[in-house]
Amino acid sequence: SSGINAEWPLRPGIKHYQKSRDYGTTVAHTMEFLLNIIKVSVYLNHWTSVSNYIKKTDHIDNADVKITRRLQLAKGLCEMSHNNYEHAARIFANIPCDSWDNEIISPLCVLVYASLCALASFNRRDFQKLLIENNNFKQYMDAQPTIRNFLFAFYNR
């Protein structure tokens, strides 16, 4: 073992991001700054910071699907970290499944997290509505037939 903490380059990085905020001149700069802080905070497991910075994005007009997805991914992870599995499952199950680009977690992780959170917190009827009948979530399941088969087997038992 090299003895180097995997977090070491991220800790100073977050301080530099915070200092750079004053230099942002547009809404796009502000959103990019907030997304970068959120991403680093996720990697550092600083869930209070993730939550606080997500709240700061609420007042910014945003029509970009990729930005919305990144924020939803971070919200889902934050909810999961606080053991709020029902809310996390709802968030993950409704994240659009199209055109992934450099996200903080993969589509497979979204499928697994939504599935496990739903299994832990929903009754059969809610499980059906949230996962089985959800057209968006079907796209995730279709990409991973083994997990889809598992979920259907659980639901049909």
Per-residue pLDDT tens digits for 29-44: 888 889 989 998 998 8
The burial of 134, by beta-carbon neighbours within 10 Å (0-12 exposed, 13-18 middle, 19 or more buried), is given as: middle
pTM of the model: 0.85
Which conformational region is residue 96 in: left (phi greater than 0), alpha (psi within -120 to 50 degrees), or beta? Answer: beta
Q: What is the predicted pLDDT for the residue at 142?
A: 94
Percent of the chain whose predicted confidence (pLDDT) is above 90: 57
pLDDT, one tens digit per residue, over 88-106 is: 999 999 998 877 776 788 9
Q: What is the mean pLDDT of residues 9-24?
A: 70
